[in-house]
Structure 1
Amino acid sequence: MEMPKVVLASALARWLPDAQGASGEVALDVSGATVGAVLDDLFARHAALRGYVLDEHGAVRHHVAVFVDGQAIGDKRRLDQPVAPGGEVYVMQALSGG
């Protein structure tokens, strides 16, 4: 059975201990059928990422964007959006400023 994949943009991938010195995105196979379950599996392996991606209420932080198969998640507080087997969850830091 195909597993979903999480792709971390380079700004987040640099926080992975095994990606030190790597440049670019990092893709990881994970388990889970929802965005929340996929992220939980990611954080079980890389706990330090949780604080960069989620706030203290468990919502995706304002400065982070999450996409499922190319579509931005609609509500950063609801992580029950489905992720298909073989689907891709892309996590990146959003740009802000003016």
Structure 2
Amino acid sequence: MAKIVLAPALARWLQEPAGAQGTETTTVAQAAHLDAALEELFARYPRLRSYVLDEHGAVRHHVAIFVDGTAIGDKRRLHQPLAVDSEVYVMQALSGG
């Protein structure tokens, strides 16, 4: 099962308490591809979908997703394979200089 980790800043989009404030929320998905893992995540946390994905199903500009430590290259093509032990990290993207 792939592990999905949500950064602490995303806790406000979760319906259930995420534990202590400032901690990551971790869940698992039985999915072979990133898009399916995200669908499992959104089934558990429906309010998170509109924050992470736009109306076309692409990852929003202000969100970053990493799979096994590497940022996804194309925020519109989420059908990338996951290994059984993959870690997906979803976080609020930062900008500035």
TM-score computed with the length of structure 1 as normaliser: 0.90
Identity of aligned residues (%): 66
Question: Which residue identity lines up with residue 77 of structure 2 in the other structure?
Answer: R
* RMSD of aligned Cα (Å): 1.4
Gaps of 5+ in 2: none
Write out per-residue CA displacement over residues 30-80 of structure 1, whole angstroms, 9 at most, x where no aligned residue.
121111000000111111100010000000000000000000000000001
The equivalences for 1:1-98 within 5 A come to 3-19=1-17, 22-23=20-21, 24-98=23-97
Gaps of 5+ in 1: none
Is contact 1:4-1:84 (8 Å) kept? yes
Question: Which residue identity lines up with residue 22 of structure 1 in the other structure?
Answer: A
TM-score computed with the length of structure 2 as normaliser: 0.91
Is contact 2:18-2:25 (8 Å) kept? no
